[in-house]
């Protein structure tokens, strides 16, 4: 395989571990913390997790290693969407496992959770691992979105583990995958399999966090990559002075990615889904808000700007989520076939008009036709509209265009509006991990092995104090049940990890809210440039603005 000079140089990078893990395996011991409680619904979660609920948080510290000598055979999977640094989690895990005992073995199950079910695996060795150090992507073993959630699946996994003599599984995933890790850990404990489960917090979306897990890995690199591109777009906008750029950024639900990208680049507009929901903003109000900025800038002769739109925005607009729910109902079961059989858009439109309530039809009617049709095209396996496929950047630019036309007719706006559209998603998920993510991920993996070695089950690998230099990071573990609550999913109450949405009282949002009025009317762009891997620490080792503000 051909390798770029950067890839070759990154192989040589030695990720930084938290100070307390730097003394060698023989000098790492456990310090017990307090027993934990789930974030809500304590009695219900406790009843569902009798073997793994309420355990203590722990941290590691320098001291005599007292873990029992035992040959470890560990299995690892990557689960869900790619996030920069996944390879380093596996490298850290491998290095700690081999440093403890050369006879220890690491299995990689391929293609995500399905690899565990289908017994599709490889066994890591030095040569294989070394080709992936400090690189982006999940191609080391692949990933997948198969859900591990039924007793039948758990029994198959247990059987496969038994056949390989596996003592522990490491699940590298987001909120859903770690929810499943917790349920699997409970199953293993209840059935005395002797297999432990440790999770690692992954997702570029940044929505797997609490007071212990300060951020999920991949968020740092992905947002720095998006911020580089948005900064470049801003500079082009400010040079050419003729386009308004509508940039949708990934983040299936929460708006952390959009907020962080905005904090790094100071665009004219950034929508935050959580705020839209809290203020119950309508599409028309959001459109007005963007059009106000366009008009104010046009009045200064600036017919250009940049607006960030979070991928998950439309689900937060109350009237839009009602519309989506009605469309799902309208096309439920065989009704979708009736709809698809209609030969023309006019007939389909009449069908829709007949099926929607008056309020939803009013919302539907103001959407550009392209978006109207998108709502009826793609369905997920449950037959629902795939909201993430809606081109919300085009939706808002089209609505702003109409709004400005009305202002022009009323004589209140005289500018020019030429919108361009971008979607930044996959561009950031497999980038070479920033130094922060390379260090953080390697530490998460290394630490996951220490949790295994000390016999913990149902824990998330935890590395905190992340806004400080790595030397001062704190390594330890948090029972996954601490993040759980009960939620309604597909008609059933289920124990799940609570998604961390943008907190409107939190410092990152407050900073943004305090400044956005100025950013909307003036040109306050910041151009972060590309991620730097070599050079001064203030350029190469900075964390996200979100983390810096949260910990300030
Ligand atoms: P995870 O939650 O699995 O980490 O994935 C997040 C994400 O990158 C979202 O930002 C995005 O909406 C989604 O995955 C895209 O999924 P897919 O890779 O299946 O297209």
With a 6 Å cutoff on the Cβ, whether 178 touches ligand 1 is: no
Q: How far is CA 380 from the centre of its chain?
A: 20
Residue 258 φ/ψ, nearest 5 degrees: -65, -45
Judged on CB neighbours under 10 Å (0-12, 13-18, 19+), 12 is exposed
Give catalytic residues, as residue numbers. 205
| DSSP assignment of 49-87 | -TTTTTPEEEEEEES---PPP---EEEEEE-SS--TTHH
Task: Kindly state the average pLDDT of the residues 332-352.
Answer: 90
With a 6 Å cutoff on the Cβ, whether 388 touches ligand 1 is: yes
- pLDDT at residue number 534: 96
Given the CA of residue 79, which atom of ligand 1 is nearest to it?
Answer: 3
CA 86 / ligand 1 centre spacing (Å): 14
The answer to which of 45-54, 192-201, 366-375 has the lowest mean pLDDT is 366-375
Given the CA of residue 204, which atom of ligand 1 is nearest to it?
Answer: 4
Domain residue ranges in the chain: 72-218+433-489, 221-311+395-429+493-552, 313-390
- CA-wise closest residue to 218 among 527, 467, 428: 428
Which own/partner pairs from 328-332 qualify as long-range (CB within 8 Å, at least 24 positions apart)? 328/383, 328/384, 328/385, 330/355, 330/356, 331/376, 331/379, 331/383, 332/383
- pLDDT at residue number 409: 97
With a 6 Å cutoff on the Cβ, whether 175 touches ligand 1 is: no
Residue 331 pLDDT class (50, 70, 90 cuts): confident
494-540 residue pLDDT tens: 999 999 999 999 999 999 999 999 999 999 999 999 999 999 999 99
SS3 36: coil
CA 253 / ligand 1 centre spacing (Å): 10
Domains 72-218+433-489 and 221-311+395-429+493-552 share a fold: yes
Number of other residues whose CB lies within 10 A of the CB of residue 241: 12
Q: Going by CA atoms, what residue is nearest to atom 14 of ligand 1?
A: 81
Which percentage of the chain shows pLDDT scores above 90? Answer: 89
Q: What is the CA radius of gyration of the chain?
A: 25
Q: How far is CA 267 from the centre of its chain?
A: 22
CATH number given to 221-311+395-429+493-552: 3.40.50.460
With a 6 Å cutoff on the Cβ, whether 439 touches ligand 1 is: no
CA 80 / ligand 1 centre spacing (Å): 7
SS3 97: helix
CA distance 270 to 511: 13
Strands annotated E in 430-472: 459-464
Residue 467 pLDDT class (50, 70, 90 cuts): very high
Task: Kindly state the average pLDDT of the residues 230-256.
Answer: 97
Q: Is the pLDDT of residue 464 over 90?
A: yes
With a 6 Å cutoff on the Cβ, whether 110 touches ligand 1 is: no
Classify strands 73-78 and 56-62 as parallel, antiparallel or unpaired: unpaired
Classify strands 168-173 and 121-123 as parallel, antiparallel or unpaired: unpaired
Given the CA of residue 388, which atom of ligand 1 is nearest to it?
Answer: 12
Q: Going by CA atoms, what residue is nearest to atom 18 of ligand 1?
A: 81
CATH level 2 (architecture), domain 72-218+433-489: 3-Layer(aba) Sandwich (3.40)
367-393 residue pLDDT tens: 988 889 888 876 776 667 777 788 999
Task: Kindly state the average pLDDT of the residues 152-161.
Answer: 97
Residue 335 pLDDT class (50, 70, 90 cuts): confident
434-457 residue pLDDT tens: 999 999 999 999 999 999 999 999
Task: Kindly state the average pLDDT of the residues 308-326.
Answer: 93
- pLDDT at residue number 61: 95
CB contact at 8 A, 197 and 184: yes
Q: Is the pLDDT of residue 23 over 90?
A: no
CB contact at 8 A, 463 and 202: no
Residue with the bigger pLDDT between 1 and 320: it is: 320
With a 6 Å cutoff on the Cβ, whether 85 touches ligand 1 is: no
CB contact at 8 A, 268 and 495: no
CB contact at 8 A, 38 and 77: no
Site to substitute for ligand 1 among 143, 174, 205, most atoms within 8 A of C-beta: 205
CA distance 513 to 535: 33
- pLDDT at residue number 448: 98
Q: Is the pLDDT of residue 1 over 70?
A: no
With a 6 Å cutoff on the Cβ, whether 251 touches ligand 1 is: yes
CA distance 238 to 233: 8
Question: What's the distance, Cα to Cα, between the start and end of the chain in Å?
Answer: 44
Q: Going by CA atoms, what residue is nearest to atom 16 of ligand 1?
A: 81
With both helix axes pointing from N to C terminus, report the angle between 283-299 and 358-366 in degrees, rounded to the nearest 10: 30
Given the CA of residue 175, which atom of ligand 1 is nearest to it?
Answer: 2
Q: How far is CA 402 from CA 291, 333, 395, 411, in A?
A: 10, 36, 11, 14
- pLDDT at residue number 488: 84
With a 6 Å cutoff on the Cβ, whether 264 touches ligand 1 is: no
SS3 248: strand
Q: Going by CA atoms, what residue is nearest to atom 8 of ligand 1?
A: 81
Number of other residues whose CB lies within 10 A of the CB of residue 79: 29
The dihedral built from the CA positions of residue 465, 169, 76 and 380, taken in this order, carries a sign that is negative
CA 27 / ligand 1 centre spacing (Å): 39
With residue 307 as reference, give the H or E element that holds it: strand 305-310
- pLDDT at residue number 206: 97
CA distance 379 to 384: 5
Task: Kindly state the average pLDDT of the residues 50-72.
Answer: 95
SS3 7: helix
Q: How far is CA 128 from CA 73, 75, 124, in A?
A: 17, 16, 6
CA 429 / ligand 1 centre spacing (Å): 9
Q: How far is CA 373 from the centre of its chain?
A: 28
Given the CA of residue 250, which atom of ligand 1 is nearest to it?
Answer: 10
CA distance 339 to 348: 7
313-390: CATH superfamily: Phosphofructokinase; domain 3 (1.10.10.480)
With residue 468 as reference, give the H or E element that holds it: none
> What's the mean pLDDT when you consider all of the chain?
95
The answer to which of 31-40, 290-299, 389-398, 524-533 has the lowest mean pLDDT is 389-398
Cα-Cα-Cα-Cα torsion 499, 502, 506, 510, nearest 10 degrees, comes to 180
- pLDDT at residue number 81: 95
Judged on CB neighbours under 10 Å (0-12, 13-18, 19+), 118 is middle
Q: Going by CA atoms, what residue is nearest to atom 1 of ligand 1?
A: 81
Q: How far is CA 129 from CA 120, 123, 354, 428, in A?
A: 18, 10, 59, 23
With a 6 Å cutoff on the Cβ, whether 293 touches ligand 1 is: no
CA distance 195 to 193: 5
Beta bridge partners of 32: 58
Task: Kindly state the average pLDDT of the residues 70-98.
Answer: 97
- pLDDT at residue number 378: 67
- pLDDT at residue number 381: 66
Q: Is the pLDDT of residue 215 over 90?
A: yes
Residue 334 pLDDT class (50, 70, 90 cuts): confident
With a 6 Å cutoff on the Cβ, whether 250 touches ligand 1 is: yes
CB contact at 8 A, 510 and 263: no
Residue 328 pLDDT class (50, 70, 90 cuts): confident
């Amino acid at each position: 395989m051909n390798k770029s000079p950067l890839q070759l140089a990154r192989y040589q990078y030695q990720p930084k571990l938290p100070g307390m893990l730097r003394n060698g395996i023989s000098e790492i011991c456990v310090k017990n913390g307090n027993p934990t409680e789930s974030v809500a619904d304590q009695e219900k979660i406790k009843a569902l997790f009798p073997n793994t609920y309420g355990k203590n948080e722990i941290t590691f510290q320098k001291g005599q290693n007292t873990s029992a000598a035992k040959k470890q055979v560990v299995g690892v999977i990557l689960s869900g969407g790619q996030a920069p640094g996944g390879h380093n989690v596996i490298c850290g895990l491998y290095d700690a496992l081999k440093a403890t005992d050369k006879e220890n073995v690491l299995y990689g199950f391929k293609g995500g959770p399905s690899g565990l079910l289908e017994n599709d695996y490889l066994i890591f060795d030095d040569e294989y691992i070394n080709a992936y150090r400090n690189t982006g992507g999940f191609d080391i073993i692949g990933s997948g979105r198969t859900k591990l959630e039924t007793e039948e699946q758990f029994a198959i996994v247990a059987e496969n583990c038994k056949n390989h003599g596996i003592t522990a599984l490491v699940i590298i995933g987001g909120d859903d995958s770690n929810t499943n890790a917790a349920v699997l850990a409970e199953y293993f404990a209840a059935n005395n399999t002797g297999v432990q489960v440790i999770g690692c917090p992954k997702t570029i979306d940044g929505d797997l966090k609490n007071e212990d897990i300060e951020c999920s890995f991949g968020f740092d690199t992905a947002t720095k990559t998006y911020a580089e591109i948005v900064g470049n777009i801003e500079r082009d906008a400010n040079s050419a002075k003729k386009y308004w750029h509508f940039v949708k950024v990934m983040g299936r639900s929460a708006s952390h990615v959009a907020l962080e990208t905005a904090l790094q680049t100071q665009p004219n507009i950034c929508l935050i889904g959580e705020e839209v929901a809290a203020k119950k903003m309508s599409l028309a109000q959001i459109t007005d808000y963007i059009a106000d900025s366009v008009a104010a800038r046009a009045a200064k002769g600036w017919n250009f700007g940049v607006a960030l739109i979070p991928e998950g925005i439309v689900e937060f607009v109350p009237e839009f989520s009602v519309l989506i729910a009605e469309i799902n109902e309208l096309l439920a079961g065989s009704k979708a076939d009736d709809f698809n059989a209609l030969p023309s858009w006019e007939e389909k439109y009449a069908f829709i008009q007949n099926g929607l309530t008056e309020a939803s039809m009013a919302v539907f009617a103001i959407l550009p036709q392209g978006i109207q049709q998108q709502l009826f095209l793609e369905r997920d396996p449950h037959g629902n509209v795939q909201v993430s496929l809606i081109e919300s950047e085009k939706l808002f630019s089209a609505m702003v265009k109409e709004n400005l036309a009305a202002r022009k007719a009323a004589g209140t706006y005289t500018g020019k509006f030429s919108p361009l559209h971008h979607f930044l998603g996959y561009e950031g998920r497999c980038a070479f991990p920033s130094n922060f993510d390379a260090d953080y991920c390697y530490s998460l993996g290394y630490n996951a092995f220490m949790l295994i070695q000390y016999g913990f089950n149902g824990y998330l690998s935890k590395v905190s104090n992340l806004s400080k230099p790595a030397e001062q990071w704190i390594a330890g573990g948090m029972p996954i049940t601490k993040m759980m609550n009960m939620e309604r999913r597909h008609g059933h109450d289920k124990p799940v990890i609570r998604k961390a949405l943008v907190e409107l009282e939190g410092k990152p949002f407050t900073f943004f809210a305090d400044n956005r009025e100025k950013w909307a009317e003036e040109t306050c762009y910041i151009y972060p440039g590309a991620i730097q891997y070599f050079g001064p620490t203030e350029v190469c080792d900075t964390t996200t603005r979100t983390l810096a503000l949260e910990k300030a």
